[in-house]
Amino acid sequence: MDCLFCKIVAGDIPADVVYQDEHVFAFRDIDPKAPNHILIIPKRHIATLNDLQEEDCVLVGRLQFTAQKLAQELGFAEDGYRVVMNCNENGGQTVYHIHMHLLGGRAMSWPPG
Ligand code: 5GP
Ligand code: ZN
């Protein structure tokens, strides 16, 4: 599988891993857009949000719950944070293995650009 994030999960490409369990993997973004910028992904390859099946609902919930846990652990949960999932070209997706961006440690504006 020629997928950057699958290679990171496999350990073939190094990453600053902050969490993993049976289903979920989380690591720091190489080009952080906030003091804390973590990518939370399923270990299993799913290319885009459009490829989700109903049986993936629990998995997506695990991504979201991992974001909350990491925000608590890293100390910015109470101040606040943002989670973002980009889909396809107009959404700004550049890596085609779904990932939740967890951004914390600064105030963010709305709407995004
Ligand atoms: P997207 O634009 O697809 O929503 O987000 C992809 C993210 O992956 C970007 O924020 C980008 O900085 C990050 N990224 C791209 N290549 C690598 C890499 O090799 N290692 C890490 N840790 N992050 C990466
Ligand atoms: Zn993949």
65: domain range?
4-104
How close is the Cα of 94 to the center of ligand 1, in Å?
A: 7
Which ipTM score applies to this complex? 0.99
pLDDT digits (tens, 9 = 90+) for 5-54: 999 999 999 999 999 999 999 999 999 999 999 999 999 999 999 999 99
**The two three-digit tokens of residue 64, written as one number:** 């979201």
Do the domain assignments include residue 113? no
Is the beta carbon of 54 within 6 A of some atom in ligand 1? no
The answer to whether residue 31 sits within a structural domain is yes
CATH number at residue 52: 3.30.428.10
- The dihedral over CA atoms of 12, 2, 59, 73, expressed in degrees to the nearest 10, equals 40
1 pLDDT higher than 80: no
CA of 10 to the centre of ligand 2 (A): 10
Contact predicate 28/34, CB 8 Å: no
When pLDDT is cut at 50, 70 and 90, the band that residue 113 belongs to is confident
Which of the four pLDDT bands, split at 50, 70 and 90, describes residue 100?
very high
**37 token code pair:** 């910028």
In this structure, the residue with its CA closest to atom 19 of ligand 1 is 30
E-strand ranges in the chain read: 17-20, 24-28, 36-42, 81-84, 100-104
Rounded to whole angstroms, the Cα distance separating 86 from 33 reads 14
Q: For residue 111, tell me if it sits in a domain.
A: no
Query: How many distinct structural domains can be found in the chain?
Result: 1
The answer to whether residue 39 sits within a structural domain is yes
